Structure 1
């Protein structure tokens, strides 16, 4: 039996304090700071046995924020509320909320570090 193929992600940051404040403020998460192999990391909560993946914010010489490359989608209960919160914290909206039919809604923002981050809200 095969599970979800992604088990962990790392979002590059240049200013960890700013990035932690952004993600905690926009999404309401509590991140846990830790140094791993000399890199400054802030981990999202992980629910073992639950669907989906978790990850961390990561700062170091190999981590470069970008709007190009892989896009991480965050599952949110209210995409409009998250877009408002992100905008109030200085985020640019890169892709306005779009209805994608039975799957719900998506949007994309630029986080505090310059990364392209996607939002996904399932339809009730």
Structure 2
């Protein structure tokens, strides 16, 4: 795998419609509603968009708008890694914290929410690899 890089970000909002409108008018991002991460209280509303055009040579990254979960909930960047479990160990060894341990997003991969030594929130993302074709 190449050097870990940001592949996704989440923008929390008190008013999802207002936030979608802001980013659409500002950057032209079109949000599409998908089923969000399951929570204990039920699934959350999750609006995803792509920044850039697939196949255009532009850098394409996904982002999402979601309901703010707590007052200090800030934008979270997701960094793609080979193994969330291995990076959780590295984070704790380096003085960071794992706030939400490795959690599956069915059919897509796994994430963990962490904080660095300065109490900044970021997330790890491990993409689920498609099964190897059988010959």
Please tell me the TM-score bracket, short chain as reference.
0.3 to 0.5
Q: What TM-score results when the alignment is normalised by the length of structure 2?
A: 0.44
Structure 1 or 2: larger strand share? 2
Rg (Cα) greater in structure: 2
TM normalised by structure 1 equals: 0.48
